[in-house]
Amino acid sequence: MVQTWCHVPVADRALLGVADAGGFIELFQLVGAKESPFTLEPFARFALDKQCLALSLDWSTGRAGRASDQSLDIISSNSKGQLHLLKVDAAGPGLQCVATWQAHHFEAWIAAFNYWQTEVVYSGGDDGLLKGWDTRAPATPVFTSNRHSMGVCSIQSNPHQEGILATGSYDEHVLLWDTRNMVKPFADVPVQGGVWRLRWHPLHGHLLLAACMHRGFRVLNCRQAVEEKQDMCTVSASHKLPNSLVYGADWSWLTFCPLPQPQQLSHVGSFSCGEAGARTEDVEAAGQPPGPSSRSCLTDDMGEGWLKLQIANKTRTSLQPSMEGRKVSSLLHTPGIMICDRDLHVETANTNINLLATCSFYDHVLHLWKWESS
């Protein structure tokens, strides 16, 4: 199952897109108020094909500053190698099929928009091919590349800088492309693990998060590559999760802001980083029953501290944190700092504090991380 939020409101509601194992694309709307828990309610549903798996989903709204008159589209792929272009209509039946075409001979693991030219989409398949398509005439690919040596399973257009595309593969390489010349990538980054998901940072256009399966996850600093087209990306931070495969990774669009002065932040836990990998004694969260701690202090090669929060792996429709089976500790607590909406606090937001989440196979756990970049 693939889940991704649309980062622009639709009929004043937030929409979550889901590609599931039943071959459906489903949309859910976030409803609720401050006085009641937020929940997800069904908004639209579309069957891609019979007896197939829906494998990916991308919104056409990935670039910041989307024009108000821009159409809202979804590109999806399935296990039969097909791509599906869907149109979202808030006033109509919800989801309408615009085009369907055969893109790959085997599973089409990933499909993604060019956020700067949304009539262009890219796809990657188990046949090891990366392809580009003009959705106005999708019968023939605009280009086909076999630069990856194994199945292509992750693609994302850079939402901050036009013409930059990142791709990842089972061949354990992240490639960066100039979309004006898809003959050869301008950067090739080995990450020692199959790259199942890639996500550009919502604020910093040079930071790329990669879910690297058995090698955990990595934050790549590609400033020289993105700005100067040099074959140079460095690993700013990484962590390998034992006995698990990291398949999902994404950044939070929330940020941290200074706490207004007479307001006090209730104490719900404390944490002190020691040596790399050191574990701390359990600190009971206020108002919550004691339970097993999931905290650890991690330090990357640059000496930067990490905080880990392990959240319950129960499937719930409510967005309230689940407290079943284990304690959710407040390791997001930083003295004098609160979580805020970056769009509403542009001037005061601390953009060096980042939240990211990863999910892993075998242990079926969602991890939430806080990273303070230099």
DSSP 174-242: EEEEETTBTTS-SEEEE-SS---EEEE-SS-TTEEEEE-BTT-EEEEE-HHHHHH--S--EEEEEEPPT
Q: Quick check: helix, strand or coil at residue 261? A: coil
Is the pLDDT reported for residue 141 higher than 50? yes
Bridge partner residues of 44 (DSSP): 27
Is the pLDDT reported for residue 260 higher than 70? no
Rounded Cα distance, 7 and 158, in Å? 15
Q: Note the Cα 38 to chain centre separation in Å.
A: 21
**Ranges 64-73, 97-106, 180-189, 359-368: which has the least confidence:** 64-73
Rounded Cα distance, 76 and 115, in Å? 15
CA nearest to 149, candidates 114, 123, 124: 124
Percent of residues in the chain assigned helix, strand, coil, to nearest 5 = 0, 45, 55
Q: Is 148 exposed, middle or buried (0-12, 13-18, 19+ CB in 10 A)?
A: buried
The residue-averaged pLDDT of 309-330 equals 34
Give the per-residue pLDDT at 309.
38
The residue-averaged pLDDT of 56-65 equals 87
Rounded Cα distance, 343 and 267, in Å? 27
pLDDT-derived band at 44, boundaries 50, 70, 90: very high
Bridge partner residues of 99 (DSSP): 85
Q: Which helix (H) or strand (E) holds 228?
A: helix 223-228
pLDDT-derived band at 364, boundaries 50, 70, 90: confident
Question: What does the chain come to in residues?
Answer: 374
Strands (E) across 217-278 are located at: 217-221, 234-239, 245-251, 254-258
Q: Quick check: helix, strand or coil at residue 89? A: strand
Rounded Cα distance, 157 and 163, in Å? 8
The residue-averaged pLDDT of 170-179 equals 97
Bridge partner residues of 46 (DSSP): 25
Give the per-residue pLDDT at 18.
97
Rounded Cα distance, 163 and 114, in Å? 8
Is the pLDDT reported for residue 133 higher than 80? yes
